[in-house]
Amino acid sequence: MSDDSQQEAQEVLRRVFGHAGFRGLQAPVIAEVMAGRPALAVLPTGGGKSVCYQIPALLRPGLGLVVSPLIALMADQVAGLIQAGVAAARLDSLTSPEDRAATWARIEAGTLDLLYVSPEGLLQPWMLERLSRIPLSVIAIDEAHCVSQWGHDFRPEYRLLSRLAEVFPGVPRLAVTATADARTRQDIREGLHLGEAREFVASFDRPELALSAERKAGTGRKRVLELASARRDRPGVIYAGSRDGTEALAAELCAAGLPAMAYHAGLDRDLRERRLTEFLASDAAVMVATIAFGMGVDKPDVRYVIHADPPASIEAYWQEVGRAGRDGEPAEGITLYGAPDMAWALRRLEGQALSDEVRAVQVRKVRQLYALLDGGTCRTAAVRRYFGEQAVADCGRCDNCLDPPKAEDLTLQAQKVLSAAHRLGGRYGRGRLVEHLLGKTREPSAFEAGLSTFGVGAELPAGAWRGLVDQLIFDGLLREDPNEGRPLIGLGDADAVRAVYRGERRVEGRLVQRHPGAGADASTTPGRRRRDGPGAEFEGDPQIFATLRAWRRAEAVRQKAPPYVIFSDRTLAEIATARPADAAALSRVSGVGETKLARYGPAVLALVAGQTPPGDGNG
């Protein structure tokens, strides 16, 4: 970027968005777009992708177009921009004819800076035709990974966005996403006709996120209840694998006194909209959702994501836990998983009409996910390596970093389990397999009692054997056949099993499972937010912070807007810490741009000074 446009961009960042300086790769991405070139930016959730296209849209002549897949997200972004004094609007299937006409009038008068559209809306011929006569500053394609069929969010309509290259040849196009491995990036490049566009890939690290994972006991529902109850008064998202699962869990949480709501594709649209609005507006609600609606439940101050059922892949995992802590404040991602979950995931792939190549990739993705969940090394580092980052250091925040599992050599025990499974011929489930090892099978047949593996495992308790069976399943040494809900255990990959028999491959693990919840208990997790403060390092006045939050809540209700589009938690925390005495001091707080300063400054300054705010705070 020329020094001039660099300075201009800085100035807009400060004046409009209230931020002192660019973060991460924002400045180089903006420079590329300002120069009129296409680009692909992979920035982590919360990394500030939106200013990468919003600032060029404000600085370059013409209308900025943002293609976004979800109406709820568009609504949020547009509300936030309007709060910041930016001329922004959206056109989607919910826009009324009057609003539509008014928006087109602004577009044609050249007074609109940013327009948000859905891909299917944009690709209607009349829409393209009408827009092709209007000067455009930039076209941003949000959630660009949706173009890739390898990803978990594949959206066929994204494929058609390749047409934008021909319809708007002179307009820089910026594809942005939070998750894309090298293969997905290649797909984005090809699918969107980005040609030689420069790639900007930020670190996948999320320093505010503390990850943990636990093997489920039974269905794991009791544990979810425990975890959520220990996190009362904080917004959270709980993912469950089925619609019924979300309903049942939400009901149990409500019975335990938590403000929980179910959210899934089977609910009627009005109810879904209402629940989403309620969740976005709340600073304590729990959304129990299916992953089908993942992108619709975005909210910056989500403090935890719990997977009651595991995600589908590491990409999905990172995106789903990534919905916690988007505001940069400490947050947690807790995943419950079990060997049956993996068996079902693999079985589901078998039943799908996929090419062999795609199926093989998907099977590998499932295996990699469970290796990560069941593994004993730093989880954040494992994810970052998975996405191709090199020289990654351990995070020091996840359960494995805080409480490293002591791995023992379990090769001998593994050999016993594998031979038993082999001799039993894959005809029994894990309970029966463990009884066999212990020699405790009730009324064993003469055949079974005569096997050399019968009672060969008396040295360990049943729980340890069950844990080892699960580990061997995660390692691919055993295979679980779901068998319509009565799972059977058989041998896994033959070469790997042979290597273990011969002692060429060692098996390491822990016989005693970590106490469930180690590192995931809200009262002991380091760096957890204080109950009524925004973060562990918060040193501000808690009274002022609480007062500001109450004012923001009232303001949000009055404006029918989500609280965080007014000010983020972080901005309120900074105000409670800096305790600005005048407008100049307030304007130095990150997140306070000119428009918000004029609009809310008097009320905020009065509250900080311990006075009643003048009027309704709306200038």
CB of 26 to ligand ADP, least distance (A): 6
- The whole-angstrom separation of Cα 340 and Cα 371 is 14
Helix (H, G, I), strand (E, B) or coil at 424: coil
DSSP, res 508: E
Residue with Cβ nearer ligand ADP (22 or 344): 22
Size, binding site for ligand ADP by CB under 6 A: 17
When CB distances to ligand ADP are compared, the closest residue is: 48
Helices then strands (H, E): number in the chain? 28, 17
CB of 436 to Zn ion, least distance (A): 38
Burial class (CB in 10 A: 0-12, 13-18, 19+), 101: exposed
- The whole-angstrom separation of Cα 399 and Cα 377 is 9
- The whole-angstrom separation of Cα 216 and Cα 306 is 12
378 binds, among Zn ion, ligand ADP, none (CB under 5 to 8 A by kind): Zn ion
590 binds ligand ADP (CB under 6 A): yes
Contact (Cβ atoms closer than 8 angstroms) between residue 607 and residue 548: yes
Q: Among residues 198, 230, 265, 241, which one has the least CA distance to residue 42?
A: 198
Choices 13-21, 287-295, 375-383, 526-534 (CB under 5 A): range interacting with Zn ion? 375-383
- The whole-angstrom separation of Cα 6 and Cα 304 is 37
533 binds, among ligand ADP, Zn ion, none (CB under 5 to 8 A by kind): none
CB of 383 to ligand ADP, least distance (A): 17
Angle CA 47–50–262, to nearest 5: 80
Question: What is the per-residue binding string for Zn ion in 220-259, x denoting contact by CB under 5 A?
Answer: ----------------------------------------
Question: What is the per-residue binding string for ligand ADP in 326-355, x denoting contact by CB under 6 A?
Answer: xx----------------------------
- The whole-angstrom separation of Cα 449 and Cα 447 is 6
**What would the DSSP string read from start to end of 152-204?**
SS--HHHHGGGGHHHHSTTS-EEEEES---HHHHHHHHHHTT-TT-EEEE---
CB of 45 to ligand ADP, least distance (A): 4
Residue with Cβ nearer ligand ADP (118 or 319): 319
Buried b vs exposed e over 139-152: b needs ≥16 C-beta within 10 Å? bbbbbbbbbbebbb
22 binds ligand ADP (CB under 6 A): yes
23 binds ligand ADP (CB under 6 A): yes
401 binds Zn ion (CB under 5 A): yes
Q: Among residues 348, 379, 346, which one has the least CA distance to residue 365?
A: 346
Binding residues for ligand ADP restricted to 38-57, rule: CB under 6 A: 43, 45-51
Choices 22-30, 360-368, 460-468, 547-555 (CB under 6 A): range interacting with ligand ADP? 22-30
Binding residues for ligand ADP restricted to 292-331, rule: CB under 6 A: 300, 326-327
Q: Among residues 490, 467, 488, 468, which one has the least CA distance to residue 478?
A: 490
Choices 90-98, 164-172, 281-289, 370-378 (CB under 5 A): range interacting with Zn ion? 370-378
568 binds ligand ADP (CB under 6 A): yes
The pairing of beta strand 408-409 with beta strand 260-263: unpaired
Size, binding site for Zn ion by CB under 5 A: 6
Residue with Cβ nearer ligand ADP (428 or 538): 538
CB of 192 to ligand ADP, least distance (A): 18
**For the CA atoms of 144, 53, 326, 383, what is the dihedral angle to 10 degrees?**
40
58 binds, among ligand ADP, Zn ion, none (CB under 5 to 8 A by kind): none
398 binds, among Zn ion, ligand ADP, none (CB under 5 to 8 A by kind): Zn ion
Contact (Cβ atoms closer than 8 angstroms) between residue 152 and residue 21: no
Q: Among residues 180, 192, 213, which one has the least CA distance to residue 516?
A: 213
305 binds Zn ion (CB under 5 A): no
Choices 2-10, 19-27, 181-189, 482-490 (CB under 6 A): range interacting with ligand ADP? 19-27
Residue with Cβ nearer ligand ADP (471 or 571): 571
* Phi/psi at 505 (5° precision): -115, 125
Residue with Cβ nearer ligand ADP (46 or 191): 46
Q: Among residues 257, 237, 260, which one has the least CA distance to residue 248?
A: 260
19 binds ligand ADP (CB under 6 A): yes
Structure tokens at 326: 């988007």
The pairing of beta strand 114-117 with beta strand 88-91: parallel
226 binds, among ligand ADP, Zn ion, none (CB under 5 to 8 A by kind): none
CB of 137 to ligand ADP, least distance (A): 18
145 binds ligand ADP (CB under 6 A): no
401 binds, among ligand ADP, Zn ion, none (CB under 5 to 8 A by kind): Zn ion
70 binds ligand ADP (CB under 6 A): no
Choices 44-52, 165-173, 374-382, 514-522 (CB under 5 A): range interacting with Zn ion? 374-382
Binding site for Zn ion (CB under 5 A): 378, 380, 394-395, 398, 401
Under the rule (CB under 6 A), what is the footprint of ligand ADP?
19, 22-23, 26, 43, 45-51, 300, 326-327, 568, 590
